Structure 1
Amino acid sequence: MQKNHTERKVLCFSGKDVRKFLQDLITNDISKVEKGLLYAALLGPQGKFLFDFFLFSKDDYIFLDCHTGSVEALCQRLLMYRLRKDVRITSTDLIVSCGINDNPEGAMVDPRHPDMGWRYYGERLDVDFVDWTALRIRLGIPALEKELLADTYILEMRFEQLNGVDFRKGCYIGQEITARMKHKTELRKGIAKAKLSKEVPLHTRITSEGKDIGFVCSQSAGEALVYVRYQKIGEAMIAGDAEVMEVNPDFVT
């Protein structure tokens, strides 16, 4: 059996201003929580990534599932924006369980990709082992502190393909930069899948013909996600003492 996702924490939002409060901040449309689990991010004013999370609703409450290591900083950021709005944020004891087979009653489909299975919020569940890192690499799904870093842009992290951003909603923090990247520029950098001749330390720099073109992110059994300049992808790429091969920005859809 695989351990439950104890690195996750679930927060509860209440108050009459909660939905508008979140709508003005996050990259996705908060109204979608009525249909199921929602994936979104909170950006800085310059459009760079700060936090990613899942949201869902129950009764009059909105629940937010985020990485445990992000909770304190995320709450501080949200409280900074709260001002006089009627919004209360409390911690819950809900446990996050994830799997890809036999959806338990009450589980919600992971909105990022059909192959990512389901997420369940409640009591502790025993779930079959899943190599989540290998699955993320195959599907091109970034993870906090691996691919999702403070200086990254969410479109470079495939948030559009992962249903994590809505270009039809109104303004939110970082929206102008994100929209400009979507409509006026071609992405020059981003994550791609690759093969490595051996495992290397996280964020080892990748070079091609002596020039820095990116770095290595998540790794599993010789497969990896890498962050690279697409136009610099070549035949002779090295990360530390490992060869980087078959770099491809296209993923399973």
Structure 2
Amino acid sequence: MAEYIELKSRGVLSVSGPDARKFLQGLISNDVEKVSPERAIHAAFLTAQGKYLFDFMIAEVGDALLLDCEAGRLVDFQKRLKLYKLRSDVTVEDVSATFTVLAMTGDDTTEALGIAAEAGAAKAVDGGAVFTDPRHAGLGARAIVETEKLAGFIAASGLTEGTLETYDLARIKLGVPDGSRDMQLEKTVLLEAGFDELNGVDWKKGCYMGQELTARTKYRGLVKRRLMPVRILDGEMPAPGTPVMRDEREVGEIRSGSGTMALAMLRVAVLEDLEHAVLSAGGSTILPVKPDWATF
């Protein structure tokens, strides 16, 4: 059965106007021209040095591009976007009070919503848009819907309420990062967090901020760390930031966690021998689990 979870940690920015696509295209890691009523994307906004600052989903709703982003950092994101507006005919507006973001999971989620089980597949609904998670179809779907029409959307889709904990566990098992919970601001490189395999970078689009380092990291094979799921074999869930140890050597750091799984940023050398890569973090024994999408 398809379930919905209201993602209260998410906010919505609207980018509209004649220059909206051109404006975003020069700033973000994915190709804005791919966005349509039938397609949503996942992308990141980087520092000029190619380090992570923000990531978000983009869906087309009416005449605007709606960015599903971290609510707690939305004001900062909006300010940074406006710094690059210059003479562009574009409006960047916080519409979080108007829209609600949902995640939807379950074996028949995409069928219930009438969308393809393909990452990024989208369709318009009354008051918003619904789309298969652009990062990984196994995460189900997301919706950006006008709050006043939310009840009608949920009823029409036959959704029942799920729990954030269940959704978060599914996300972690798939190795999908959740913004600044898992990626360090101004430090993480996109390819360390799986953005290549998880559809967050377009290698054929034109220039964007931070592109040079991102491309160099890929083509010179400079990825030295990877964000990976780890299973807690015994002990308590380590707190975010807990060092991961192999014998007496620090080889990584715990990020977000749920249930008996967490994400950890680990040295690639550790992951080359997963069969024997039993590690420890804060007194707990952990084991890396390579997702099926990872290409290293």
Three-state SS of the structure 2 residue aligned to 1:135 is: helix
Q: Which amino acid aligns with 2:282?
A: G
The answer to whether the Cα contact below 8 Å between 1:140 and 1:251 also exists between their aligned partners in 2 is: no
The answer to whether the Cα contact below 8 Å between 1:209 and 1:236 also exists between their aligned partners in 2 is: no
- Aligned residue in 2 for 1:103: 113
- Aligned residue in 2 for 1:177: 213
Deviations 1:166-193 (A, max 9, x none): 0000000000000011111142211112
Distance 1:207 1:10, change over 3 A: same
- Aligned residue in 1 for 2:120: none
- Aligned residue in 1 for 2:184: 149
Distance 1:235 1:37 in 2: 37
- Tell me by how many angstroms 1:252 deviates: 5.4
- Aligned residue in 1 for 2:171: 136
Distance 2:231 2:244 in 1: 12
Distance 1:212 1:28 in 2: 34
Specify which of 186, 197, 201 is matched with residue 239 of structure 2.
Answer: 201
**Mean CA deviation greater in 228-237 or 166-175:** 228-237
Distance 1:205 1:94 in 2: 38
- Tell me by how many angstroms 1:87 deviates: 1.1
Please say if 1:51 is aligned against 2:89.
no
**Mean CA deviation greater in 189-198 or 154-163:** 189-198
Deviations 1:90-138 (A, max 9, x none): 2221111221222277322111111111112223345431511111122
The answer to whether the Cα contact below 8 Å between 1:207 and 1:213 also exists between their aligned partners in 2 is: yes
Runs of 4+ in 1 over 6 A off after TM superposition: none
Specify which of 75, 79, 83 is matched with residue 78 of structure 2.
Answer: 75
Deviations 1:197-223 (A, max 9, x none): 221111211111211111112222222
- Aligned residue in 2 for 1:250: 291
Distance 2:253 2:194 in 1: 17
Q: Which amino acid aligns with 1:176?
A: E
Distance 1:231 1:6 in 2: 37
- Aligned residue in 1 for 2:121: none
The answer to whether the Cα contact below 8 Å between 1:112 and 1:162 also exists between their aligned partners in 2 is: yes
What are the ranges of 5 or more consecutive residues in structure 1 without an aligned counterpart? none
Higher helix fraction (1 or 2): 2
Q: Which amino acid aligns with 2:171?
A: R
Distance 1:30 1:112 in 2: 15
- Aligned residue in 2 for 1:124: 150
Distance 1:171 1:252, change over 3 A: closer
Instruction: Give the alignment's TM-score, normalised by structure 2.
Output: 0.79
The answer to whether the Cα contact below 8 Å between 1:8 and 1:65 also exists between their aligned partners in 2 is: yes
The answer to whether the Cα contact below 8 Å between 2:68 and 2:144 also exists between their aligned partners in 1 is: no
- Tell me by how many angstroms 1:144 deviates: 1.9
Distance 1:236 1:16, change over 3 A: closer
- Aligned residue in 1 for 2:25: 23
Distance 2:143 2:41 in 1: 13
- Aligned residue in 2 for 1:7: 9
- Tell me by how many angstroms 1:17 deviates: 1.2
Distance 1:174 1:10, change over 3 A: same
Aligned residues: 252
The answer to whether the Cα contact below 8 Å between 1:7 and 1:69 also exists between their aligned partners in 2 is: yes
